[in-house]
Amino acid sequence: MKKDKLNICLSVVSIFLILLVVACGSKKEDAKVGNHPPEIHELSLLPLNPTIQSEITVRILASDKDGDPLSYRVKWFVNGKEIGEGMSLKYEEAKKGDRVSAEVTPYDGKEWGKPKKTGEVKIGGLPPKIISLKISPESLFATTPLVTVNAMVEDPDNDTVQLFVHWLVNDQVIPDTSNTLELKKFNLKKNDVITGAAFAWDGEFKSEPFTFELHIANSAPVLSADIDSVKASSESLYYQIPISDPDGDRLTFELLKAPSSVFIDKNTGVIYGSAGDVNTFEILVRAKDPDGAYLDAKFTMTAP
Protein backbone atom coordinates (compact mmCIF):
# COMPACT_ATOMS: atom_id res chain seq x y z
CA MET A 1 0.00 0.00 0.00
CA LYS A 2 2.82 2.37 0.88
CA LYS A 3 4.54 1.40 -2.34
CA ASP A 4 1.46 2.34 -4.42
CA LYS A 5 1.21 5.73 -2.73
CA LEU A 6 4.88 6.34 -3.48
CA ASN A 7 4.38 5.49 -7.13
CA ILE A 8 1.42 7.85 -7.35
CA CYS A 9 3.46 10.67 -5.84
CA LEU A 10 6.32 10.07 -8.26
CA SER A 11 3.90 10.18 -11.18
CA VAL A 12 2.44 13.48 -10.07
CA VAL A 13 5.91 14.96 -9.66
CA SER A 14 6.88 13.72 -13.13
CA ILE A 15 3.82 15.29 -14.73
CA PHE A 16 4.50 18.58 -12.94
CA LEU A 17 8.09 18.59 -14.15
CA ILE A 18 7.01 17.87 -17.71
CA LEU A 19 4.47 20.72 -17.60
CA LEU A 20 7.10 23.04 -16.16
CA VAL A 21 9.58 22.16 -18.93
CA VAL A 22 6.91 22.68 -21.59
CA ALA A 23 5.89 26.02 -20.08
CA CYS A 24 9.48 27.21 -19.92
CA GLY A 25 10.13 26.08 -23.46
CA SER A 26 7.01 27.91 -24.63
CA LYS A 27 8.15 31.14 -22.96
CA LYS A 28 11.58 30.81 -24.56
CA GLU A 29 9.94 30.27 -27.97
CA ASP A 30 7.67 33.32 -27.47
CA ALA A 31 10.69 35.46 -26.60
CA LYS A 32 12.50 34.15 -29.63
CA VAL A 33 9.67 35.07 -32.12
CA GLY A 34 9.26 38.82 -31.13
CA ASN A 35 8.73 41.77 -33.64
CA HIS A 36 10.59 42.04 -36.96
CA PRO A 37 11.76 45.52 -38.02
CA PRO A 38 10.55 46.70 -41.45
CA GLU A 39 12.91 46.65 -44.41
CA ILE A 40 13.30 48.95 -47.44
CA HIS A 41 14.01 47.16 -50.72
CA GLU A 42 14.04 49.94 -53.29
CA LEU A 43 13.93 53.77 -53.45
CA SER A 44 13.66 56.21 -56.34
CA LEU A 45 12.97 59.93 -56.77
CA LEU A 46 10.32 61.28 -59.11
CA PRO A 47 10.35 63.04 -61.50
CA LEU A 48 13.58 61.68 -62.91
CA ASN A 49 14.44 65.07 -64.46
CA PRO A 50 13.11 67.71 -62.08
CA THR A 51 13.24 71.47 -62.61
CA ILE A 52 13.15 74.33 -60.12
CA GLN A 53 9.36 74.21 -60.37
CA SER A 54 9.03 70.48 -59.67
CA GLU A 55 7.68 68.85 -56.54
CA ILE A 56 9.97 65.88 -55.88
CA THR A 57 8.56 62.74 -54.27
CA VAL A 58 10.15 59.49 -53.18
CA ARG A 59 8.88 56.11 -54.39
CA ILE A 60 9.33 53.47 -51.65
CA LEU A 61 9.23 49.69 -51.96
CA ALA A 62 9.34 48.15 -48.45
CA SER A 63 7.96 45.22 -46.47
CA ASP A 64 7.33 44.02 -42.91
CA LYS A 65 7.50 40.31 -42.01
CA ASP A 66 4.82 40.79 -39.38
CA GLY A 67 2.46 42.46 -41.85
CA ASP A 68 2.35 45.67 -39.82
CA PRO A 69 1.32 48.89 -41.59
CA LEU A 70 4.32 51.09 -42.33
CA SER A 71 5.06 54.78 -42.15
CA TYR A 72 8.25 56.56 -43.09
CA ARG A 73 10.55 59.35 -41.99
CA VAL A 74 12.02 61.07 -45.05
CA LYS A 75 14.92 63.51 -44.78
CA TRP A 76 15.80 65.67 -47.78
CA PHE A 77 19.24 66.81 -48.83
CA VAL A 78 20.29 69.46 -51.36
CA ASN A 79 23.93 69.36 -52.40
CA GLY A 80 24.58 67.07 -49.42
CA LYS A 81 23.02 69.40 -46.86
CA GLU A 82 19.89 68.38 -44.95
CA ILE A 83 17.14 70.95 -45.58
CA GLY A 84 13.95 69.35 -44.21
CA GLU A 85 11.64 66.39 -43.80
CA GLY A 86 8.43 65.19 -45.42
CA MET A 87 7.12 62.79 -48.04
CA SER A 88 7.75 65.33 -50.82
CA LEU A 89 10.02 68.29 -51.49
CA LYS A 90 9.06 71.65 -52.99
CA TYR A 91 12.20 73.72 -52.50
CA GLU A 92 11.67 77.39 -53.31
CA GLU A 93 15.39 78.14 -53.22
CA ALA A 94 16.35 75.41 -55.69
CA LYS A 95 18.63 76.43 -58.54
CA LYS A 96 19.55 74.77 -61.79
CA GLY A 97 22.34 72.28 -61.15
CA ASP A 98 21.41 71.54 -57.52
CA ARG A 99 21.67 67.84 -56.50
CA VAL A 100 18.74 66.43 -54.49
CA SER A 101 18.63 63.18 -52.50
CA ALA A 102 16.64 61.68 -49.63
CA GLU A 103 17.10 59.31 -46.69
CA VAL A 104 14.15 57.08 -45.77
CA THR A 105 13.65 55.22 -42.48
CA PRO A 106 10.66 52.80 -42.19
CA TYR A 107 8.56 52.39 -39.03
CA ASP A 108 6.05 49.61 -38.25
CA GLY A 109 4.54 51.22 -35.17
CA LYS A 110 6.87 49.32 -32.86
CA GLU A 111 10.35 49.56 -34.27
CA TRP A 112 12.37 51.66 -36.74
CA GLY A 113 14.04 49.87 -39.60
CA LYS A 114 17.42 50.67 -41.10
CA PRO A 115 17.61 54.02 -42.98
CA LYS A 116 18.33 53.88 -46.69
CA LYS A 117 19.49 56.66 -49.06
CA THR A 118 18.25 57.37 -52.54
CA GLY A 119 20.42 58.27 -55.48
CA GLU A 120 20.72 61.94 -56.49
CA VAL A 121 18.67 63.77 -59.11
CA LYS A 122 19.91 66.99 -60.67
CA ILE A 123 17.73 70.09 -60.96
CA GLY A 124 17.50 70.92 -64.65
CA GLY A 125 16.79 74.25 -66.32
CA LEU A 126 13.60 75.65 -67.80
CA PRO A 127 13.26 77.31 -71.20
CA PRO A 128 12.93 81.08 -71.43
CA LYS A 129 9.63 82.65 -72.47
CA ILE A 130 9.01 85.67 -74.69
CA ILE A 131 6.43 87.94 -73.05
CA SER A 132 6.16 90.60 -75.75
CA LEU A 133 7.87 92.01 -78.82
CA LYS A 134 8.76 95.57 -79.77
CA ILE A 135 9.08 96.33 -83.48
CA SER A 136 11.09 99.37 -84.57
CA PRO A 137 9.96 101.35 -86.41
CA GLU A 138 6.31 100.70 -85.59
CA SER A 139 5.19 101.45 -89.19
CA LEU A 140 7.01 100.14 -92.22
CA PHE A 141 7.05 101.75 -95.67
CA ALA A 142 8.66 100.95 -98.98
CA THR A 143 11.38 103.44 -98.06
CA THR A 144 12.10 101.97 -94.58
CA PRO A 145 15.74 100.82 -94.61
CA LEU A 146 15.56 98.18 -91.85
CA VAL A 147 13.38 96.77 -89.10
CA THR A 148 14.53 95.64 -85.65
CA VAL A 149 12.80 93.24 -83.26
CA ASN A 150 13.41 93.39 -79.52
CA ALA A 151 11.72 91.25 -76.89
CA MET A 152 10.80 91.17 -73.24
CA VAL A 153 11.99 87.74 -72.11
CA GLU A 154 11.42 85.87 -68.85
CA ASP A 155 13.92 83.17 -67.86
CA PRO A 156 13.15 81.11 -64.70
CA ASP A 157 16.85 80.25 -64.29
CA ASN A 158 18.01 83.88 -64.71
CA ASP A 159 20.23 82.81 -67.61
CA THR A 160 21.54 85.26 -70.18
CA VAL A 161 19.42 84.88 -73.31
CA GLN A 162 19.83 85.74 -76.97
CA LEU A 163 17.04 86.65 -79.35
CA PHE A 164 16.83 85.12 -82.83
CA VAL A 165 14.27 85.66 -85.58
CA HIS A 166 13.34 83.49 -88.55
CA TRP A 167 12.16 85.81 -91.35
CA LEU A 168 9.77 85.25 -94.24
CA VAL A 169 9.45 88.06 -96.81
CA ASN A 170 6.61 87.61 -99.30
CA ASP A 171 6.79 83.81 -98.81
CA GLN A 172 10.58 83.86 -99.30
CA VAL A 173 12.52 82.25 -96.46
CA ILE A 174 15.42 84.49 -95.44
CA PRO A 175 18.51 82.59 -94.25
CA ASP A 176 19.12 85.06 -91.46
CA THR A 177 18.36 84.65 -87.77
CA SER A 178 19.32 88.17 -86.73
CA ASN A 179 16.78 90.32 -84.92
CA THR A 180 17.47 93.05 -87.53
CA LEU A 181 16.42 92.76 -91.17
CA GLU A 182 17.59 95.10 -93.95
CA LEU A 183 14.53 95.87 -96.08
CA LYS A 184 16.00 97.93 -98.89
CA LYS A 185 17.40 94.89 -100.71
CA PHE A 186 13.95 93.30 -101.09
CA ASN A 187 12.40 96.11 -103.19
CA LEU A 188 9.31 96.04 -101.04
CA LYS A 189 6.14 97.81 -102.04
CA LYS A 190 2.86 98.76 -100.46
CA ASN A 191 0.88 95.82 -98.99
CA ASP A 192 3.84 93.44 -99.01
CA VAL A 193 3.92 91.15 -95.98
CA ILE A 194 6.80 90.19 -93.69
CA THR A 195 6.29 87.42 -91.15
CA GLY A 196 8.64 86.26 -88.46
CA ALA A 197 9.07 83.83 -85.60
CA ALA A 198 11.15 85.08 -82.70
CA PHE A 199 12.63 82.77 -80.10
CA ALA A 200 14.90 83.21 -77.09
CA TRP A 201 17.87 80.91 -76.46
CA ASP A 202 19.58 80.56 -73.05
CA GLY A 203 22.40 78.33 -74.25
CA GLU A 204 20.52 75.15 -73.32
CA PHE A 205 16.83 75.68 -73.98
CA LYS A 206 14.87 77.49 -76.68
CA SER A 207 11.61 79.28 -76.01
CA GLU A 208 8.38 78.65 -77.84
CA PRO A 209 8.28 80.76 -81.03
CA PHE A 210 6.60 84.15 -80.81
CA THR A 211 5.15 84.82 -84.25
CA PHE A 212 4.36 88.20 -85.75
CA GLU A 213 3.29 89.74 -89.06
CA LEU A 214 4.30 93.09 -90.54
CA HIS A 215 2.69 94.93 -93.45
CA ILE A 216 4.26 97.53 -95.69
CA ALA A 217 2.03 100.57 -95.28
CA ASN A 218 1.06 103.15 -97.85
CA SER A 219 3.67 105.88 -98.17
CA ALA A 220 2.79 109.54 -98.41
CA PRO A 221 4.16 111.54 -101.37
CA VAL A 222 7.64 112.96 -100.87
CA LEU A 223 9.78 115.72 -102.30
CA SER A 224 12.08 114.14 -104.83
CA ALA A 225 14.44 117.12 -104.60
CA ASP A 226 15.36 119.32 -101.65
CA ILE A 227 14.12 122.60 -103.13
CA ASP A 228 12.19 125.40 -101.54
CA SER A 229 13.22 128.33 -103.77
CA VAL A 230 12.63 128.20 -107.53
CA LYS A 231 13.97 130.52 -110.21
CA ALA A 232 11.16 131.08 -112.71
CA SER A 233 9.89 133.78 -115.00
CA SER A 234 6.89 135.43 -113.41
CA GLU A 235 5.45 136.34 -116.82
CA SER A 236 5.49 132.87 -118.28
CA LEU A 237 5.53 130.21 -115.57
CA TYR A 238 6.19 126.54 -116.32
CA TYR A 239 7.58 124.44 -113.50
CA GLN A 240 7.31 120.72 -112.72
CA ILE A 241 6.72 120.29 -108.99
CA PRO A 242 9.39 117.82 -107.66
CA ILE A 243 7.00 115.55 -105.76
CA SER A 244 6.80 111.78 -106.28
CA ASP A 245 5.22 108.76 -104.62
CA PRO A 246 7.47 106.02 -103.12
CA ASP A 247 4.84 103.39 -103.96
CA GLY A 248 4.60 104.53 -107.59
CA ASP A 249 0.99 105.64 -107.14
CA ARG A 250 -0.46 108.26 -109.48
CA LEU A 251 -0.73 111.58 -107.67
CA THR A 252 -3.21 114.42 -107.96
CA PHE A 253 -2.18 118.00 -107.30
CA GLU A 254 -3.91 121.15 -106.16
CA LEU A 255 -2.84 124.69 -105.33
CA LEU A 256 -3.63 125.76 -101.78
CA LYS A 257 -1.98 129.16 -102.12
CA ALA A 258 -0.88 131.10 -105.21
CA PRO A 259 -1.54 134.30 -107.15
CA SER A 260 -4.88 134.22 -108.94
CA SER A 261 -3.27 133.86 -112.37
CA VAL A 262 -1.07 130.90 -111.42
CA PHE A 263 -2.43 127.39 -111.96
CA ILE A 264 -1.40 123.73 -111.61
CA ASP A 265 -2.11 120.71 -113.77
CA LYS A 266 -3.84 118.36 -111.29
CA ASN A 267 -2.49 115.25 -113.04
CA THR A 268 1.10 116.23 -113.82
CA GLY A 269 1.91 118.76 -111.10
CA VAL A 270 3.11 121.36 -113.59
CA ILE A 271 2.82 125.00 -112.43
CA TYR A 272 1.89 127.41 -115.20
CA GLY A 273 0.45 130.90 -115.73
CA SER A 274 1.71 134.38 -114.99
CA ALA A 275 2.34 136.40 -111.86
CA GLY A 276 2.45 139.70 -113.74
CA ASP A 277 4.79 142.25 -112.27
CA VAL A 278 5.33 140.27 -109.02
CA ASN A 279 8.93 139.03 -108.94
CA THR A 280 8.72 136.95 -105.76
CA PHE A 281 5.74 135.01 -104.50
CA GLU A 282 4.90 131.80 -102.64
CA ILE A 283 2.88 128.83 -103.72
CA LEU A 284 1.55 126.04 -101.51
CA VAL A 285 0.94 122.73 -103.26
CA ARG A 286 -0.83 119.62 -102.03
CA ALA A 287 -0.02 116.25 -103.63
CA LYS A 288 -2.33 113.34 -102.75
CA ASP A 289 -2.20 109.61 -103.52
CA PRO A 290 -5.23 107.31 -104.14
CA ASP A 291 -5.22 106.19 -100.48
CA GLY A 292 -5.58 109.74 -99.22
CA ALA A 293 -2.01 110.26 -98.00
CA TYR A 294 -0.76 113.70 -98.96
CA LEU A 295 2.14 116.13 -98.80
CA ASP A 296 1.86 119.90 -98.51
CA ALA A 297 4.92 121.66 -99.95
CA LYS A 298 5.68 125.36 -100.03
CA PHE A 299 7.83 126.92 -102.76
CA THR A 300 9.10 130.46 -103.24
CA MET A 301 9.09 131.53 -106.87
CA THR A 302 11.57 134.28 -107.76
CA ALA A 303 12.44 135.96 -111.04
CA PRO A 304 15.79 134.86 -112.45
Q: For residue 126, what are the contacts with CB-CB under 8 A and spacing of at least 6?
A: 51, 52, 53, 96, 155, 156, 157, 205
Banded model confidence at residue 30, pLDDT cuts 50, 70, 90: very low
User: Residue 45: enclosing H or E segment and its boundaries?
Assistant: strand 39-46
**Of 109, 95, 113, 92, which is closest to residue 43 (Cα–Cα)?**
113
Share of the chain above pLDDT 90, in %: 72
Q: For residue 54, what are the contacts with CB-CB under 8 A and spacing of at least 6?
A: 47, 123
pLDDT above 60: residue 86: yes
pLDDT above 60: residue 240: yes
- DSSP annotation string for 125-171: P---EEEEEEEESSSB-TT--EEEEEEEEE-TT----EEEEEEEETT
Give pLDDT, residue 126: 94
Rounded-to-integer distance, Cα 95 and Cα 229, Å? 69
Rounded-to-integer distance, Cα 251 and Cα 291, Å? 10
pLDDT above 90: residue 236: no
pLDDT above 80: residue 234: no
Give pLDDT, residue 229: 72
Q: Where are the alpha helices (DSSP H) in the chain?
A: 2-33
The reported pTM is 0.68
3-state class of 34 per DSSP?
Answer: coil
Banded model confidence at residue 302, pLDDT cuts 50, 70, 90: confident
The per-residue pLDDT of the chain, averaged, comes to 88
Domains of the chain and any CATH numbers? 39-122 (2.60.40), 129-215 (2.60.40.10), 222-302 (2.60.40.60)
**What are the tens digits of pLDDT across the range 143-183?**
999 999 999 999 999 899 999 999 999 989 998 899 999 99
Banded model confidence at residue 9, pLDDT cuts 50, 70, 90: very low
